[in-house]
Amino acid sequence: MATGPWRSVAITGASSGFGAALARELAAPGRVLHLSGRDATRLAGAAEACRAAGAEVREACFDVRDAAACEAWVAAAGPLALLIANAGVSAGSGGAVEPADQARDIFAVNLTGALNTALPALAAMRLQPPGPDGVRGRIAVVASVAAFVAAPGAPAYCASKAALQRWAEATDATARRGGVRLHALCPGYISTPMTAGNDFPMPGLMTPEDAARRALAGLARGKPRVAFPLPLYLAARLAGALPPRWLSVLPSKAQGSGPRPRREA
């Protein structure tokens, strides 16, 4: 069995980047993978790679903003050892006030969209029998190191990831008493289509495979917060501790440059 003891795993945003790499890392004989995305062709490619590694794969195309579709997907999956709410979008403000529709959409996908699968999974997992690791089920939300800093170039992105990270960690404190664990995955920069157009330095840039392995190792150790790489995480925590007024005097580059959307880690 590949990383972790989990027999049945569901992943949103599995058609690309980090989600597809998580699926590939988990793919092994004896494991059932429920993979979702919106782009059917890309999702089929990701699913095929997992089948080639011996996993049983079930694909589903839907938008995580569709709460009913998310609930139906979780219900149809049956008992889940692990749900990874990974689907997300990113855009920057280009140094200006972020457009209203962009801010609303980022929150709808990254925050409400993650809750749309996490909440039904949490309810279902509480009724499941414990697995080999003594846990009834695990929910991992994909936040970011951006959760720890209010970057002026990406207000909605940072805020959506902060909310997700706080929700998962706070809920874990009580849900674990009933046998369900929640985890906040907080990666730094990963080389995926999301960051492909970034024109600024991305310290500690990881391959999707490296990021997936680190995330799954943290989950297997039961860490409520899985944040990596350490230097970037510590830098984000330090920046997040600065007085907020200092953010407005950051160099213009750090506030997002040009009209092209900026994409944060």
Ligand X SMILES: NC(=O)c1ccc[n+]([C@@H]2O[C@H](COP(=O)([O-])OP(=O)(O)OC[C@H]3O[C@@H](n4cnc5c(N)ncnc54)[C@H](OP(=O)(O)O)[C@@H]3O)[C@@H](O)[C@H]2O)c1
Asked if 33 touches ligand X (CB under 6 A), the answer is no
Sheet strands side by side (includes 8-11): 56-61, 32-37, 8-11, 82-85, 137-142, 180-187, 225-228
Q: Find the part of the chain contacting ligand X (CB under 6 A) among 14-22, 116-124, 219-227, 233-241.
A: 14-22
Asked if 90 touches ligand X (CB under 6 A), the answer is yes
Distance in Å, CB of 189 to ligand X, minimum: 4
Question: Rounded CA gap, 191 and 58, in Å?
Answer: 26
Q: Which two tokens stand for residue 157?
A: 């992105």
Asked if 144 touches ligand X (CB under 6 A), the answer is yes
Question: Rounded CA gap, 242 and 238, in Å?
Answer: 7
Residues 100-139 that bind ligand X (CB under 6 A): 109, 113
Question: Rounded CA gap, 164 and 145, in Å?
Answer: 12
Asked if 176 touches ligand X (CB under 6 A), the answer is no
Q: If you count them, how many residues does the chain have?
A: 265
In this structure, are strands 56-61 and 225-228 parallel, antiparallel, or unpaired? unpaired
Q: Find the part of the chain contacting ligand X (CB under 6 A) among 12-20, 123-131, 165-173, 222-230.
A: 12-20
Distance in Å, CB of 157 to ligand X, minimum: 7
8 contacts 78 by C-beta, under 8 angstroms: yes
Compute φ and ψ for 206, nearest 5 degrees. -110, 155
Question: Rounded CA gap, 185 and 13, in Å?
Answer: 14
Cα–Cα distance list, 6 to 26, 129, 193, 212 (Å): 9, 13, 28, 15
Asked if 189 touches ligand X (CB under 6 A), the answer is yes
**Binding test (CB under 6 A) with ligand X, winner from 4, 88, 120, 131:** 88
Q: Which two tokens stand for residue 49?
A: 């790679």
Pick between residue 7 and residue 61 the one whose CB is nearest to ligand X: 61
Question: Rounded CA gap, 199 and 262, in Å?
Answer: 9
Residue 117, classed as helix, strand or coil, is helix
Residues 67-86 that bind ligand X (CB under 6 A): 86
**Contact pattern for ligand X over residues 200 through 239, marking x by CB under 6 A:** ----------------------------------------
| Catalytic residue, candidates 157, 167, 228, 233 | 157
For residue 157, indicate whether it is catalytic.
yes
Q: What number of chain residues touch ligand X (CB under 6 A)?
A: 31
**Contact pattern for ligand X over residues 48 through 67, marking x by CB under 6 A:** ---------------xxx--
Whether the bond between 229 and the residue before it is cis, its omega within 30 degrees of 0, is yes
**Binding test (CB under 6 A) with ligand X, winner from 7, 42, 176, 213:** 42
Residues of the shown chain interacting with ligand X in the complex, contacts defined by CB under 6 A: 12-13, 15-19, 37-39, 42, 63-65, 86-90, 109, 113, 142, 144, 187, 189-190, 192-195, 265
State the catalytic residues.
Answer: 157
